[in-house]
Amino acid sequence: MAPNFGTDKPDKHDSRSSGGDSSYSDFIKGSDLPSRGTVTAKITGFREERLEYSMYQVDFVIGKKAWTLGLRNDQDGRLRALVKVLGGNTDRWKGKTFKMQRHSKTDRSGNPRIQIVI
C-alpha cells in the first residue's frame, strides 16, 4: 500500500485488486482494448481518491461495459491528454466522450499501454 506522505487521511486500499467486494468498475488495461483501431468511451464520473496505484480515477463506459482508468498523478500523460480533449474542469467531464487505443509499448507487467487519442 502507498505511504501517507504526511496527510491526516488513512491510506485507502483498493479492494478491486485484492478480490474484495466493490461497487467500482474494473480497471481497464491495454489488453482489454482491440489490437487495432480506436474505441470511444463515455465518461460517467471523475474522482480524486488515493488508491494503491492511482490518485485519480476516470469512470467510463465502452458500449455497455463499465471501466475505470487509473491515473497516477498530475504528470500522467493520459491525464494531460484528457485535459487537452475535454478541458480543465473535471466537473464538466461527465457525459463527454473521448477516444483511446492500445499503445505499441508495454508497461512493467507486459500489458500494452493505453493511449488517449487527441
Distance CA 81, CA 112 (A): 18
Paired sense of beta strands 26-27 and 38-48, if any = unpaired
Q: What is the pLDDT of residue 2?
A: 33
Task: Identify the helix (H) or strand (E) that includes residue 24.
Answer: none
The answer on pLDDT for 15 being more than 70 is no
Domain ranges of the chain: 26-117
Distance CA 45, CA 26 (A): 14
Architecture of domain 26-117: Beta Barrel (2.40)
The answer on pLDDT for 13 being more than 50 is no
The answer on pLDDT for 14 being more than 70 is no
Q: Which among 1, 7, 12 has a CA at the least distance from the CA of 47?
A: 12
Rounded to 5 degrees, what angle do the CA atoms 115, 16, 38 make? 20
Q: What is the pLDDT of residue 31?
A: 94
